Amino acid sequence: MGPKKTIQPSNRFRNNEKSVGIGNAFWDTSERNGLAGIVAELSNGVLRTATDHEFVNFSCCSYLDLDSHPRVIEGAVAALRKYGVLDHCIPRSRVQIPALLELEDSLGELFSADAVSAISASAASAGILPLIASGHIGNGTRPLMIFDKNCHVSMAQTKPVCADETEVVTCRHHDLDFIEDRCKEYSQVWYICDGSDSLGGYAPVKELAVLQERYGLQVFYDDSHSVSAYGARGIGYVRSNSPVLDDRTIVVTTLNKAFGTSGAAVLLNGRPKEILRIIERFAGALSYSQPLNTAAVGAGLASAEIHRTSELTTLQGRLQEKIALFDSLVGTEQSGSAFPIRLVPMDDEAVIDAGRRVFEAGFYVSPVFFPIVARGTAGLRVMMRAGQTDEQIRGLGSVLVGVGAEAASPTHARLVG
Ligand SMILES: *Cc1c(COP(=O)(O)O)cnc(C)c1O
């Protein structure tokens, strides 16, 4: 026998050596500085560690604080009592209790779509995108799949699987010219991107709609960051602004951010029943893995009811007030955007120390820095929520202005406090 074989990976679409190599250094530095691996109890919106350090979380995506809304909690308990089982374990395509159908009806009505539930947006995208690749969601033609360079990892991670079924390419962020050129070349093209991204950007839904009209382009949006926080009844950025909400568009959204519960919804329009069946039977984890449990369904039903009342508008308005207050204290590139996320830019070297001082002052904000983001784009990521008090925001603002004045990278600093 000769020497044993060693394996050379192709790494065409993923590279753990690079991701772990880069990412682990980031996490180690964060944890060493007390800014990761934090354990704390939550009470009345304040977190407390075992050593009695109290802080307010300014890095939580429950933008409307619906996750602790009394009616959402009650909804979870009520559904458990009503159905009497947490999860009747069997694939839903065989046997299911009516709970999921009740939630999907409610979400479908709320978002004006056929809604398919999933345990997470990640599971939904991992299940749906390979069916798009093989032409089973669509007209049977294997499409060219164009993934936006910045699309969320939950979509990007499906590239190798999709590439086993069809051709996959990655384009520069929102590169409409590239997409149009490919539309001229291929009989069927899908574009995969975030509807609203984690740094406050929005997909060019109107420009994409032109390509959808002209070439039959299909678009897969993940609008997790804006659903509930944005739009009438919380329908999110894409469904508020895209003129093409038919069988050329699919929207996936988590229910775990501003919606305030668990799970996710796939929102489809104009797709025949057979395609919905294919999804139920073949969309990966949506078929073979556990569905949302009854408590999550009950919480979701309650949150959907809140979305139908003026309380949602009140909460959205309150969130906008908090965002405006923050913007009046700390200037960022995102200032003025309706989106609840702000990045206070700083040098790579300064950001960890700044994050630690903000934490010591009683606020958690996420430091992002090289190597997890490109050099020159480091900073403290701040997220506003409707339930934060003005006093908390003013407190954070003054600490940020203090640390920012020393640490801000000169090219980005626009502190107005
Ligand atoms: C947060 C987020 C997710 C993750 O959602 P899960 O339901 O927890 O999987 C997916 N996509 C985007 C764009 C997100 O912001």
Residue range 345-365, pLDDT digits in tens: 998 888 999 999 999 999 999
Can you give the pLDDT at residue 413? 42
Q: For residue 162, what are its two tokens?
A: 């999709």
Q: Are 143 and 190 in contact (CB under 8 A)?
A: yes
Can you give the pLDDT at residue 101? 96
Tell me the β-bridge partners of 54. 48
Average pLDDT of the residues in 31-43: 94
Confidence of residue 415 (pLDDT cuts 50, 70, 90): very low
Q: Are strands 379-383 and 341-345 parallel, antiparallel or unpaired?
A: antiparallel
Task: Kindly report the average pLDDT of the chain as a whole number.
Answer: 93
Measured CA to CA, the distance from residue 150 to residue 172 in angstroms comes to 8
Residue 49 CA to ligand 1 center (angstroms) comes to: 27
Ligand 1 environment, Cβ below 6 A: 120-122, 152, 154, 194, 198, 222, 224-225, 254, 256-257, 264
Measured CA to CA, the distance from residue 299 to residue 278 in angstroms comes to 27
Q: Sketch the domain layout of the chain as residue ranges.
A: 16-52+311-415, 69-307
Residue 251 CA to ligand 1 center (angstroms) comes to: 12
Q: State yes or no: pLDDT of 121 exceeds 60.
A: yes
The span from the first CA to the last CA of the chain, in angstroms, equals: 72
Can you give the pLDDT at residue 347? 86
Measured CA to CA, the distance from residue 58 to residue 381 in angstroms comes to 8
Pocket test for ligand 1, best of 116, 122, 150, 237 (most atoms within 8 A of CB): 122
Can you give the pLDDT at residue 408? 54
Strand locations in 69-136, DSSP E? 114-118
pTM above 0.85, yes or no: yes
Q: Distances in Å between the alpha carbon of 301 and those of 23, 91, 307, 308, 366?
A: 37, 22, 10, 11, 31
Q: State yes or no: pLDDT of 245 exceeds 90.
A: yes
Measured CA to CA, the distance from residue 254 to residue 217 in angstroms comes to 24
Q: Which residue has the tokens 């345990």?
A: 119
Average pLDDT of the residues in 46-53: 96
Can you give the pLDDT at residue 200? 74
Confidence of residue 416 (pLDDT cuts 50, 70, 90): very low
Q: Are 388 and 58 in contact (CB under 8 A)?
A: yes
Confidence of residue 317 (pLDDT cuts 50, 70, 90): very high
Q: Cα–chain-centroid distance for residue 113?
A: 19
Confidence of residue 410 (pLDDT cuts 50, 70, 90): very low
Percent of all residues in the chain with a pLDDT value above 70, rounded to a whole number: 97
**Ligand 1 atom closest to Cα of residue 122:** 9
Confidence of residue 412 (pLDDT cuts 50, 70, 90): very low
The topology under which CATH files domain 69-307 is Aspartate Aminotransferase; domain 2 (3.40.640)
Q: State yes or no: pLDDT of 41 exceeds 60.
A: yes
Residue 254 CA to ligand 1 center (angstroms) comes to: 6
Can you give the pLDDT at residue 201? 84
Can you give the pLDDT at residue 236? 97
In terms of Cα–Cα distance, which of 256, 255, 125 is closest to 190? 125
- Residue 358 neighbours by CB distance under 10 Å: 25
The H or E element containing residue 167 is strand 167-171
Can you give the pLDDT at residue 405? 60
Classify 16-52+311-415 by CATH class: alpha beta
Residue 416 CA to ligand 1 center (angstroms) comes to: 32
